[in-house]
């Protein structure tokens, strides 16, 4: 029987997908909105009515039939946020038009691609600039031009048909824009780098409305900032040019141990996984589902060749024979579906359901409601930290489902220097992600790990409650990012609670 996929969405498949509903009222006849630090601005219905005339894409407004769907993100807890408009921009020119509209009318702007922001910062009460309609993928030899609205499943699918790919994340509905701008950790990152590491150039519409092609020679600081500086900060990305790598069959695998051996497994995995051969990536997962009683400890991975030797070496590193293990060689595309939680589904089914850009009428990929926090580990956890972490799973069964995922880094990720791109965590061993719908458990678990991992976080697991977030996300790259922000968005058109300033 085929195991359900192992990463985020799948690890949390049991968490409630609690969609909220609220009625779709028509817009007020005259709205007064604060914008980007300039309160008191006004925008009239006539202004809004004029906007679509200048767009090739579509503007969805309150009262439109698709409004309740269009305003939703992946995480249902933000369903109550009601933008004044959602513009599905079909071209860079549309984005420029929207930015000019927002600036002129002082309407706050939020930029959206796949809508997976943990903090809900790709929506807001003003104008949402959605790039999902720009989703073409054009392979060309060992390069590919990718529209900023492309979902990961479409990226993998189109490229796999040419026998190539780029290293990217696992969830099929994540957007290439949000992922790449914050870094992009995936199952082939140890072999080929982060998604942002294979970025050759990027087209960005900046606050002044200009469409800029940035690369190693043009707008170099902006190009640097777009590789790990986080989405929503510097402009609206509209197109990416990636280097691709050839793909063949790969082998997803997993090993599961009894919970009573969890501390040995964590201790052995964290010493083996970050320095394993580049061709193998692993994620250690601690899960607790009250319905299943005892928590579980599991390592899932992908081997670019035969997994057998890696299973043996990992078992030796932990010193404990797994209770169960499985491995099956698959085509690259099947493996990406499997790791993304939509094994056995068609590409269309691996989308969210609907007829808006980014969705498919036959889509079946579910939304999931949870919150996340992260750390980035530069040193192995000492035994006392492992004990504290495991106790978080053994106590408080009333808090519901919870997971900690530790994704191995190292390999190609670590062969780039921390200042070469805006993603600073090059010397890290692994990325730790805490996931649960229960904020108190998340905060408590994060706090328990602070003494050992504190002061670090991955910007793509954006955390609205994180103290010291700027240094934690960006490390020593923060000052250059702030200078770049000042140069390209001096008026802070692009703003949100953790925007670079």
Residues of this chain that bind ligand FAD (CB under 6 A): 8-9, 74, 110-118, 121-122, 131, 148, 169-171, 174-175, 177-179, 181-186, 231-232, 236-237, 460
Is the CB of 117 or the CB of 254 nearer to ligand FAD? 117
Is the CB of 127 or the CB of 181 nearer to ligand FAD? 181
CB 120 within 8 A of CB 497: no
Min. distance of Cβ 280 from ligand FAD in angstroms?
17
Beta-carbon neighbour count of residue 261 at 10 Å?
A: 17
Min. distance of Cβ 319 from ligand FAD in angstroms?
29
Is the CB of 59 or the CB of 459 nearer to ligand FAD? 459
Min. distance of Cβ 46 from ligand FAD in angstroms?
28
Is the CB of 122 or the CB of 315 nearer to ligand FAD? 122
Longest dimension (CA), the chain: 70
Is the CB of 157 or the CB of 262 nearer to ligand FAD? 157
What size, in residues, is the chain? 501
Is the CB of 318 or the CB of 374 nearer to ligand FAD? 374
Min. distance of Cβ 70 from ligand FAD in angstroms?
13
Q: Please tell me the number of Cα atoms within 13 Å of 235 on its side-chain side.
A: 33
Min. distance of Cβ 340 from ligand FAD in angstroms?
8
Query: What are the phi and psi torsion angles at 54 (to 5°)?
Result: -105, 10
How far apart CA 352 and CA 72 sit, in angstroms, is 11
List, in order, residues 6 or more apart from 10 with CB less than 8 Å away.
4, 340, 341
CA distances from 280 to 5, 164, 245, 271, 309 (A): 17, 18, 16, 14, 10
Is the CB of 346 or the CB of 464 nearer to ligand FAD? 464
CA angle 385, 391, 395 (to 5 degrees): 155
Min. distance of Cβ 320 from ligand FAD in angstroms?
27
CB 152 within 8 A of CB 173: yes
Min. distance of Cβ 40 from ligand FAD in angstroms?
24
How far apart CA 121 and CA 127 sit, in angstroms, is 12
Min. distance of Cβ 6 from ligand FAD in angstroms?
11
Is the CB of 160 or the CB of 168 nearer to ligand FAD? 168
416 exposure class (CB count in 10 Å sphere: 0-12, 13-18, 19+): middle
């Amino acid at each position: 029987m085929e195991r359900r996929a192992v990463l985020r969405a799948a690890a949390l498949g049991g968490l409630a997908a609690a969609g909220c509903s609220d009625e779709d009222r028509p817009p007020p006849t005259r709205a007064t909105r604060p914008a980007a630090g300039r309160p008191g601005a006004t925008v009239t219905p006539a202004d809004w009515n004029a906007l679509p005339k200048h767009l090739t894409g579509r503007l969805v407004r309150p009262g439109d039939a698709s409004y309740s769907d269009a305003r939703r993100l992946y995480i249902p807890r933000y369903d109550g946020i009601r933008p004044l408009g959602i513009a599905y921009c079909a071209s860079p020119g549309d984005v420029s038009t929207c930015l000019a509209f927002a600036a002129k009318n002082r309407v706050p702007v939020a930029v959206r691609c796949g809508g997976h922001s943990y903090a809900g910062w790709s929506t807001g009460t003003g104008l949402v600039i959605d790039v999902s309609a720009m989703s073409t993928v054009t392979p060309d030899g060992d390069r590919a031009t990718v529209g900023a609205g492309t979902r990961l499943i479409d990226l993998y699918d189109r490229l796999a048909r040419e026998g190539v790919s780029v290293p990217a994340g696992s969830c099929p509905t994540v957007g290439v824009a949000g992922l790449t701008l914050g870094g992009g950790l995936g199952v082939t990152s140890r072999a080929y780098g982060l998604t942002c590491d294979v970025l050759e150039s990027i087209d960005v519409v900046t606050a002044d409305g200009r469409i800029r092609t940035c690369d190693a020679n043009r707008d170099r600081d902006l190009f640097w900032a777009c590789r790990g500086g986080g989405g929503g900060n510097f402009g609206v990305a509209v197109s990416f040019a990636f280097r691709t790598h050839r793909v063949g069959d790969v082998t997803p695998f997993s090993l599961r141990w009894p919970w009573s051996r969890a501390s040995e497994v964590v201790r052995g995995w964290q010493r083996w996984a970050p320095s394993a051969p580049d061709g193998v990536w692993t994620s250690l997962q601690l899960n607790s589902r009250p319905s299943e009683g005892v928590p579980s400890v599991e390592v899932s991975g992908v081997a670019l060749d035969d997994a057998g030797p890696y299973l043996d070496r990992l078992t030796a590193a932990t010193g404990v024979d797994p209770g169960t293990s499985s491995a099956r060689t698959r085509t690259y595309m099947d493996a990406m579906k499997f790791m993304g939680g939509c094994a056995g589904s068609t590409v269309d089914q691996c989308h969210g359901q609907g007829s808006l850009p980014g969705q498919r009428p036959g889509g079946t990929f579910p939304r999931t409601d949870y919150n996340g926090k992260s750390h980035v580990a530069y040193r192995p956890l000492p035994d006392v930290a492992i004990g504290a972490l495991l106790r978080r799973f053994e106590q408080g069964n009333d808090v519901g489902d919870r997971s900690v995922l530790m994704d191995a880094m190292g390999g190609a990720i670590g062969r780039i220097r921390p200042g070469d791109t805006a993603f600073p965590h090059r010397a890290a061993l692994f990325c730790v992600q805490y996931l649960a719908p229960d904020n108190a458990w998340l905060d408590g678990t994060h706090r328990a790990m602070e003494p050992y991992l504190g002061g670090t976080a991955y910007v793509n697991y954006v955390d609205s409650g994180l103290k010291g977030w700027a240094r934690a996300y960006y490390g020593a790259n923060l000052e250059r990012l702030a200078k770049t922000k000042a140069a390209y968005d001096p008026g802070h058109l692009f703003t949100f609670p953790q925007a670079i300033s």
